[in-house]
């Protein structure tokens, strides 16, 4: 493969192994796996799930749901608060597939009841500690009022309670991940138990890669909804969700300049390719790690090498003295992204190590 510019490479073998591992964990804990496709956003990668028996997915927008419906997916949860302005696409999709939506306010339910034309499933989006959005898991009064408003509509099936423990992304190690998982699970189980007599079929849907990757106790949690695990990334490796060898994507970037006095190598690869997500480690701000090159792909990060700055197209890599002369202008460096979801979205396509181009979903203007 002749690489001349920033190119997002996908190791198909690692990716498929990550998928198999998560399916195995879901089976181990008797959980339904509904993988979130917002990380890979690709029909081809989606088919790798389907080849292993997965027939349902989650997405982050109605447009993305339409893209996967066109690829043959017919059981889709839009794990994002319903945008009532998109009522036309809601009705279009609901007339063709099993569509699940998320609500978190009486105002949204009122609008939904007014425009809905076909059956849908509804999850109440719950805040169990992340504090990004969602109904307070302990506010039973508000939740009950919304449930009553939903059950008044014969087109609506109340599916259950959905939450994302995104605060696990700030964890360091399995113990902290488990602590958050225990806290959020207890809140969600208490919530379900409160309403179980009146709504005996409701389920809990939990969706974050760290807990789904390493935690053990999923008793009373019916559905796993992770997404990032399909590729993993530097952030997940540092959290403890995976090993660096599990990371299935890397950006190949050409070296275009060198500055020995600052131990800096400039690559063609900037914020428009990686995003500006970063981690703090050992007193350094890191926007990516440089992996060792292997005959067919890449290995683990090289000690002391890291992306220290990003501007629009420029990336600045710190390289230790003893290794500086190893890099020549025109060399390709393999960068492990901090956040593979955003990097994939920015690049809009992948290339497998065999040179196959894999297209992704794109938003229409």
Q: What is the mean pLDDT of residues 68-87?
A: 98
Q: Report the chain's mean pLDDT, rounded to a whole number.
A: 97
72 secondary structure, DSSP code: T
pLDDT at position 1: 82
DSSP state of 257: E
d(CA 211, CA 200): 26
- Domain spans of the chain? 12-230, 244-359
- Would you say residue 160 has pLDDT above 80? yes
> In this model, does residue 365 exceed pLDDT 70?
no
| pLDDT tens figures, 168-200 | 999 999 999 999 999 999 999 999 999 999 999
Closest CA relative to residue 250, chosen from 338, 317, 122, 143 = 338
How confident is the model over 113-130, as pLDDT tens digits? 999 999 999 999 999 999
Question: pTM of this prediction?
Answer: 0.97
Chain-centroid distance, C-alpha 54: 17
Average pLDDT over residues 103-116: 98
Is the model's pLDDT at 131 over the cut of 90?
Answer: yes
Q: Reduced to 3 states, what is the DSSP secondary structure of residue 82?
A: coil
Q: Could you tell me the two tokens for 156? A: 């609506």
Name the residue with tokens 């349902």: 56
pLDDT tens digits for 218-264? 999 999 999 999 999 999 999 999 999 999 999 999 999 999 999 99
Q: 204, exposed or middle or buried, with CB in 10 Å at 0-12, 13-18, 19+?
A: buried
pLDDT at residue number 163: 97
Residue 107 phi/psi, 5-degree rounding, is: -60, -45
pLDDT at 364 over 90: no
Q: Can you tell me the distance from the alpha carbon of 225 to that of 145, in angstroms, rounded to the nearest whole number?
A: 26
Total Cβ atoms within 10 A of residue 155: 13
- 337 band by pLDDT with thresholds 50, 70 and 90: very high
In this prediction, residues 72-80 reach a mean pLDDT of: 98
Fold of 244-359: Lyase, Ornithine Decarboxylase; Chain A, domain 1 (2.40.37)
Choices 3.40.50.10800, 3.20.20.10, 2.60.40.650, 3.40.50.300: CATH for 12-230:
3.20.20.10
If we measure between CA atoms, which residue out of 63, 60, 54, 48 comes closest to residue 10? 48
Q: Residue 158 — φ and ψ, nearest 5°?
A: -80, 115
DSSP 8-class letter at 228: G
Q: Which residues, in sequence order, are CB contacts of 169 under 8 Å at separation 6+? A: 208, 210, 235, 239
314-347 core/surface letters (b: 16 or more CB in 10 A; e: else): ebbbbbeeeeeeebeeeebbbbbbbbbbbbbbeb
Confidence at residue 336, expressed as pLDDT on a 0 to 100 scale: 98
Contact between 150 and 156 (Cβ < 8 Å): yes
Report phi then psi at 109, rounded to 5.
-65, -40
């Amino acid at each position: 493969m002749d690489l001349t510019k920033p190119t997002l490479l996908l190791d198909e073998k690692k990716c498929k192994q990550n998928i198999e591992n998560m399916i195995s964990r879901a089976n181990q804990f008797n959980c339904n796996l509904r993988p979130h496709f917002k990380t890979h956003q690709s029909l081809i990668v989606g088919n790798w799930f389907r080849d292993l028996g997965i027939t349902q997915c989650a997405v982050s927008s109605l447009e993305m749901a339409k893209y996967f419906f066109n690829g043959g997916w017919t059981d889709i949860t839009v794990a994002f608060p319903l945008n009532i302005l998109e009522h036309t696409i809601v009705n279009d999709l609901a007339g063709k597939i099993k569509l699940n939506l998320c609500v978190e306010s009486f105002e949204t339910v009122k609008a939904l009841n007014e425009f809905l034309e076909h059956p849908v499933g509804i999850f109440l989006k719950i805040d169990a500690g992340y504090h990004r959005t969602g109904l307070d898991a302990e506010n039973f009064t508000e939740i009950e009022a919304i449930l009553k408003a939903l059950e008044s509509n014969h087109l609506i099936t109340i599916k259950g309670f959905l939450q994302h423990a995104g605060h696990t992304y700030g964890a360091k190690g399995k113990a902290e991940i488990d602590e958050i998982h225990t806290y959020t699970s207890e809140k969600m189980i208490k919530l379900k138990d409160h309403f179980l007599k009146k709504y005996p079929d409701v389920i809990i849907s939990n969706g974050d890669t760290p807990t789904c990757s390493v935690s053990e106790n999923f008793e009373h949690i019916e559905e796993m909804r992770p997404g990032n695990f399909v590729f993993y990334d530097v952030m997940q490796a540092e959290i403890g969700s995976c090993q660096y060898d599990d990371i299935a994507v890397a950006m190949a970037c050409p070296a275009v300049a060198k500055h020995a006095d600052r131990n800096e190598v400039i690559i063609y690869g900037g914020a428009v390719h990686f995003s500006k997500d970063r981690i703090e480690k050992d007193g350094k701000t890191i926007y990516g790690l440089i992996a060792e090159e292997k005959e067919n792909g890449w290995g683990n990060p090289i000690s002391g090498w890291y992306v220290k700055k990003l501007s629009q197209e420029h990336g600045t890599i710190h390289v230790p003295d003893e290794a500086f002369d190893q890099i020549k202008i025109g060399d390709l460096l393999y960068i492990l992204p901090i956040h593979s979801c955003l990097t994939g979205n920015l690049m809009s396509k992948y290339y497998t190590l065999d040179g196959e181009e894999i297209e992704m979903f794109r938003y229409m203007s």
